[in-house]
Structure 1
Amino acid sequence: MNISIIGRLTGPKGDIAYQILSKIAPQFPLVKFNIAGGPVSSRFKALASNNVIFYGFVDDVPKVIKGADLVIGAGRVAIEALQLNTPVLAIGEKQYVGILDKNNIAQAQESNFGDCALDEFHDFNQISSDLKDFIQFNLKREDLSAVVNQYSPANIMPKINQVYSHALADVTFAKKKEVPVLIYHRVVNEKLTDSKFNVYITKEKLDWQIGFLKRQGFNIITFKDLANGIKVKKPIILTFDDGYEDNYLNLLPLLKKHQEKAVIYCLGNRSIQNNIWDEKLGEPSANLMSDYQIQECHNSGLIEIASHGLKHQHLPDLSEAEVKEELESSKSNLEKLINDKVVSFAYPYGDYGKREEILAYESGYDFAIGTVNGPLNLTDNYYAIRRIQIFPSTKKFDFWKKTSGFYLRLCKLKAKDF
């Protein structure tokens, strides 16, 4: 039988390895202990024997793991061994967990497989007993595939990307007290006389507003820009909810004219062709963009296509499974449509709670936005980003106030709606 100890041989980890090799390994003369790591100091060299072999630092750690019947280690070593379907005896700098099974895997994860814990505890008598049972009874590794999948590259890489996206945004906005994120919906040619909720702006007014932002020195960016680490002096984000056809017909030409950007939040259920959720409440029917129009917007390089859920449902009213479906399937469907990553999500109706924030994060989004709720600073919570509403009635002076950089704080002082 081959048992591999993998890790550095200095500090607390070195002391633990020394205890195992000097006190426990001699009890099992027929078991081969392979030690991958270093440096191999004189105290370790004195322990070398026919069944205790030191390899020093190795390049091909997976090969060492695959050749072992049991791996002793913590942190990444334990995770990699699980990935390679090799049994693990988890012991780290702070804690001895044991040979991993369904009973102790949760404890192992909480302590990073023994490396992180409030109290230090290593029972070497228990380690000896556990090894004896493993060797004597030739114990097989339990099925921990559900846990192993949590550490697969497909699940881990999006989380790593989220960390980097947020860190880059933190740097970009480190000295900015307020980053305006504006919310629009439709972009129409003429003022609508039958709109119940006034979720539109005329093309002429939006043309002026974009020009005004440019004259004021704003850099209009997208959430994808944030995820990619863009650094600008005066950022602002223009968002358009629901993905109306007039966004393609009227907004896209304006963006091309000004060479500026925007974010459009579309539905992942591509069979929904109009605003049925508002139509039921008395708002005039309006077409949504087709697949082709969404692709054209994305291919322009000026529009970030983002998710607004599958069916524009009120998420707090749904079960957790239904919310996950809204988040995950809409993201997947839109990514297939545009052949690109979807990094941000807009909560339908702007309503959400802590559950929705957590699920948005777990679904792989880098950012999630509401409407007039959330902290004043964008960087305080990337899954509860507050927006500022722009209405058809928003006058030029009001638009200046709303993009001034102190509007949200002013409203808070006045206890006024945003």
Structure 2
Amino acid sequence: MNILMALSQIEVTGAEVYATTVGDVLTERGHKVFYVSDTLTKPHRGAFFKLRFNKRSIPRRFWHVGYMVYLIKKHRIQLVHAHSRASSWSCYVACKLTGTPMITTVHGRQPVHASRKKFHALGDRALAVCEAVRNQLVSGLGVQPELIAIGRNGIDTNHYQPVPVPDNDKPVVSIIGRLSGPKGELCYRLLDQCLDLNRYRVQIASGSQVPERFERFKGKADFLGYVHDVPGLMAQSDLVIGAGRVAMEAILMQRPVFAVGEAETVGLVTPDNIDAAMASNFGDIGPTDLNIDFATLPAQITAALDTRFDSSALASTVKSAYDLQAVTTELEAHYQSVLVHRRRREVPIIMYHRFIKNESEKGIHGTYLHVNMLEKHFKLLKRLGYETLTFADLTDKGMASRLDAGKKYIIITVDDGYKDNYELLFPLLKKYGFKAVIYAVTGETFNRWDVEKPDNPEKAVELMTPAQIKEMADSGLVEFGGHTLTHPKLDQLGREQQRAEIAENKAQLEQLLGHKLTSFAYPFGIHNDDSKQLAKELGYPFAVATNSGPLAMHEDLWQIRRIAIFPRTDVFGLWRKIKGNYVFRKNK
């Protein structure tokens, strides 16, 4: 995907750290990430475009919108991710003009006024960095709850490892954060009212220029400026004072953290208050700004320096909630949902069964297609520029890769594993260079499940032999998936019967092919909760149904929709089904 991160800032902020940190992981996963902002200080992978969002006159705002439209069109941006109020307004208008999906991460408390209530400018989805932000968006601005999700900061937890307690001659207290705005006011009052600068060695790490009013503290406290090695600074600290990412990173290093932010005091973070601390982003977000009783802080800070406890459980909690890879995966899911539902398009997954070459081979149940029509289907796919994917491809490249800019993907699936798949489908796959996924029944030699129907029996049709399955798989053009031993209606079986059908079929195919299977198809598309749970438990990353499941395939990997192809599906019918919006039109 082509993603544009938009920020408005004149110095390093937590939003910049968030955007560049997850942006680099997205880049590693194959996305193209671009940045637009007033400034960008942190190292990053991806092009940066300078735009002075903080200049907010009416003419400037028109220029911002125009430039955003230019960037979106020039770089084929598929989604804009805004990270601040100033940038989100311009992004919102530009995205409306270009039809581009938009997400906004809300990093802090929002101003509440009439125009903001009427014009949220958050786009298709808002990601609140903590519960307090979400609550304020709902109660203060009237944002619909379904528009908001929690999207926590992502931290490279491997970068922040536990360190031994430092052997300092006197306690070292480190304050990390900006010296401007509310954080600057907080730092000033900590130095002025709360910290004994003779008793403690106080050091302040900030990317801000030191304001004039802080001059009186020079010589008593160390102003370090911008610090590249923040873990090294935390390692030598007896107490870290901060909020947001600062608190999380220090906790991961198992350094004592006194959480105080722009809104409230959490105090020393312990296992007893970690949930409340996370909900307020460690004191940064509350019902009001700077709602802090500074008179009580000296005693609290002294107590924090004297308190000792096992902080490994605390670090484990933070690692679980803020792990960078997990946070980025969740962010990718939001990107996919917004893109798919906004465009009302999804990669089509079409489903065939049997193929015939003459009229005498027709069946009763309508699960066949003449090979001549199949070739016409393939010619259309080739002419329209479609590339075929398998579920193994999605495992290797990630689900979001199906939405790559400028690509037209389709997944061809074939159920049951009939002999004609080898005789008729396989040569056409070779001819057109297409790949397919075949779901094979292994406990039968013919379609007994359809033949032995007293009220509507089908003619008997042979299934592929193990040798034919192996040859197709070895070609690299066919991925085989599980389809049970005997093709039962799974919802009519008990859990253990289902397990036997799914597990033994999987084991037989994996032994034949020499590798793990990637996907499973429910026979007849019928399943229940046990079926889905067993597919997960038995190691299938994906399971496909037929006409059920979310419209966006990544939203339930064990109930993925497919589009059935019938004997009367001609070239025009196929075109209608593969445009990408077919399942959306069917499910209005």
Q: Does the C-alpha gap of structure 1 residues 395 and 37 become closer, same or farther in structure 2, counting only changes over 3 Å?
A: same
Displacement of 1:57: 0.7
Q: Which residue of 2 aligns with 1:209?
A: 377
1:254 is aligned, of 400, 419, 428, to 428
Report the secondary structure of 2:313's partner residue. Answer: coil
Displacement of 1:9: 1.8
Which whole-Å CA distance do the structure 2 matches of 1:368 and 1:61 have between them?
44
- 1:16 correspondence with 2:191: no
- 1:388 correspondence with 2:563: yes
Q: Does the C-alpha gap of structure 1 residues 250 and 66 become closer, same or farther in structure 2, counting only changes over 3 Å?
A: farther
Displacement of 1:90: 2.1
The 8 Å contact of residues 79 and 151 in structure 1, kept in 2 or not, is answered as: no
Q: Does the C-alpha gap of structure 1 residues 393 and 68 become closer, same or farther in structure 2, counting only changes over 3 Å?
A: same
Q: Which residue of 2 aligns with 1:232?
A: 406
Which whole-Å CA distance do the structure 1 matches of 2:483 and 2:194 have between them?
58
- 1:100 correspondence with 2:272: no
Report the secondary structure of 1:144's partner residue. Answer: helix
- 1:85 correspondence with 2:254: yes
Q: Which residue of 2 aligns with 1:416?
A: none
Residue identity in the other structure for 1:160? T
What is the CA deviation profile of residues 191-213 of structure 1, one whole-angstrom value per residue up to 9, with x for unaligned ones?
99798976665655433322233
Residue identity in the other structure for 1:388? I
**Cα RMSD, aligned residues only:** 5.2
- 1:135 correspondence with 2:305: yes
Which whole-Å CA distance do the structure 1 matches of 2:416 and 2:286 have between them?
48
The 8 Å contact of residues 194 and 298 in structure 2, kept in 1 or not, is answered as: yes
Q: Does the C-alpha gap of structure 1 residues 93 and 398 become closer, same or farther in structure 2, counting only changes over 3 Å?
A: same
Report the secondary structure of 2:195's partner residue. Answer: helix
The 8 Å contact of residues 71 and 81 in structure 1, kept in 2 or not, is answered as: yes
Q: Does the C-alpha gap of structure 1 residues 380 and 53 become closer, same or farther in structure 2, counting only changes over 3 Å?
A: same
| Range that drifts further, 121-130 or 39-48 | 121-130
Displacement of 1:254: 3.1
Task: For 1:127-276, list aligned pairs within 5 A.
Answer: 127-138=297-308, 141=311, 143-150=313-320, 156-161=324-329, 163-164=331-332, 167=335, 176-179=343-346, 181-184=348-351, 186=353, 205-215=373-383, 217-222=384-389, 224=394, 227-228=400-401, 230-232=404-406, 235=408, 237-240=410-413, 244=417, 253-262=427-436, 264=437
Q: Which residue of 2 aligns with 1:124?
A: 294
Which whole-Å CA distance do the structure 2 matches of 1:218 and 1:185 have between them?
20
The 8 Å contact of residues 101 and 142 in structure 1, kept in 2 or not, is answered as: no
Which whole-Å CA distance do the structure 1 matches of 2:318 and 2:465 have between them?
41
Q: Which residue of 1 aligns with 2:175?
A: 5
Residue identity in the other structure for 2:293? D
Report the secondary structure of 2:271's partner residue. Answer: coil
Task: For 1:44-59, list aligned pairs within 5 A.
Answer: 44-50=214-220, 52-59=221-228
Report the secondary structure of 1:4's partner residue. Answer: strand
Task: For 1:301-380, list aligned pairs within 5 A.
Answer: 349=525, 371-374=546-549, 378=552
Structure 2 gap segments, 5+ residues each: 1-170, 454-460
Residue identity in the other structure for 1:256? K
Displacement of 1:160: 1.2
The 8 Å contact of residues 348 and 577 in structure 2, kept in 1 or not, is answered as: no
Report the secondary structure of 1:46's partner residue. Answer: helix
Report the secondary structure of 1:77's partner residue. Answer: helix
The 8 Å contact of residues 265 and 308 in structure 1, kept in 2 or not, is answered as: no
Q: What's the TM-score once normalised by structure 2's chain length?
A: 0.49
Which whole-Å CA distance do the structure 1 matches of 2:483 and 2:293 have between them?
52
Displacement of 1:221: 4.8
The 8 Å contact of residues 350 and 372 in structure 1, kept in 2 or not, is answered as: no
What is the CA deviation profile of residues 152-192 of structure 1, one whole-angstrom value per residue up to 9, with x for unaligned ones?
75xx3254145347637866x69854446233264656799
* Matched length: 372
Which whole-Å CA distance do the structure 1 matches of 2:405 and 2:348 have between them?
16
Displacement of 1:2: 2.0
The 8 Å contact of residues 242 and 257 in structure 2, kept in 1 or not, is answered as: yes
Report the secondary structure of 2:179's partner residue. Answer: coil
Residue identity in the other structure for 1:141? S
| Range that drifts further, 378-387 or 122-131 | 378-387
Displacement of 1:25: 0.6
Report the secondary structure of 1:372's partner residue. Answer: coil
Residue identity in the other structure for 2:349? L
Q: Does the C-alpha gap of structure 1 residues 38 and 394 become closer, same or farther in structure 2, counting only changes over 3 Å?
A: closer
Which whole-Å CA distance do the structure 2 matches of 1:369 and 1:230 have between them?
22
Displacement of 1:402: 2.9
Which whole-Å CA distance do the structure 2 matches of 1:292 and 1:370 have between them?
25
Which whole-Å CA distance do the structure 2 matches of 1:266 and 1:88 have between them?
54
Residue identity in the other structure for 2:351? Y
Which whole-Å CA distance do the structure 2 matches of 1:245 and 1:148 have between them?
51
The 8 Å contact of residues 346 and 581 in structure 2, kept in 1 or not, is answered as: no
Q: Does the C-alpha gap of structure 1 residues 136 and 265 become closer, same or farther in structure 2, counting only changes over 3 Å?
A: farther
Which whole-Å CA distance do the structure 2 matches of 1:406 and 1:82 have between them?
47
Residue identity in the other structure for 1:240? T
What is the CA deviation profile of residues 204-237 of structure 1, one whole-angstrom value per residue up to 9, with x for unaligned ones?
543332223334x25245484772352237x352
Residue identity in the other structure for 1:20? L
Q: What's the TM-score once normalised by structure 1's chain length?
A: 0.65
Q: Which residue of 1 aligns with 2:144?
A: none
What is the CA deviation profile of residues 299-323 of structure 1, one whole-angstrom value per residue up to 9, with x for unaligned ones?
x4x67889999xx977xx98xxx9x
Displacement of 1:346: 7.4
Which whole-Å CA distance do the structure 2 matches of 1:293 and 1:14 have between them?
69
What is the CA deviation profile of residues 319-343 of structure 1, one whole-angstrom value per residue up to 9, with x for unaligned ones?
xxx9xxx9xxx9xx9xxx8799x8x
Structure 1 gap segments, 5+ residues each: 414-418
Displacement of 1:58: 0.8
Displacement of 1:66: 1.4
